Amino acid sequence: MQSTFANSLTIRDDVHAVVAAQFGRRLAVQLGFSLVDQTAISTAILEITRNIVKYAGTGQITLSTVQEGDSTGILIVVSDQGPGIPDLALALKDGFTTGRGLGLGLPGAKRLMDSFEIVSHIGQGTTVTMGKWKS
């Protein structure tokens, strides 16, 4: 897999989360993703980056275009140095929340993307890596 473009943004508040989601959508448009996939990408980015704001306060998102053979994709890496997630299996279940949300952010983002990996360490932070391939 070869990365052909990468751009990083710092996430500190909901405005940054929205900007990151819009940037992801624009990148998807430029690469020729379908409207459905554009929406999936921007929604997943918004869900994950809003979790940064809510639980960690600040973090980073990097969006990259990737090429594997004839396939083009977007790779998204979102990381923070927040409190970490004590039980990843539980956090990925629909309806589980430690806040006031619906508990659909992490599992919803996972469903929207073609690949999804989350690594979290208590007291050290969380990194979510997700990708979408152009159909």
Residue 71 belongs to domain with CATH number: 3.30.565.10
Identify the band that residue 94 occupies on the pLDDT scale cut at 50, 70 and 90. Answer: low
Number of domains in the chain: 1
Q: Compute the C-alpha angle 117/131/38, nearest 5°.
A: 135
* Percent of all residues in the chain with a pLDDT value above 90, rounded to a whole number: 75
Amino acid at 85: I
Q: For the residues of 27-46, what is the DSSP string, one character each?
A: HHHHTT--HHHHHHHHHHHH
Identify the band that residue 102 occupies on the pLDDT scale cut at 50, 70 and 90. Answer: very low
Q: What is the pTM of this model?
A: 0.89
| pLDDT for 52 | 94
Domain span including residue 46: 2-133
| pLDDT for 103 | 40
At 2 the three-state DSSP class reads strand
At 126 the three-state DSSP class reads strand
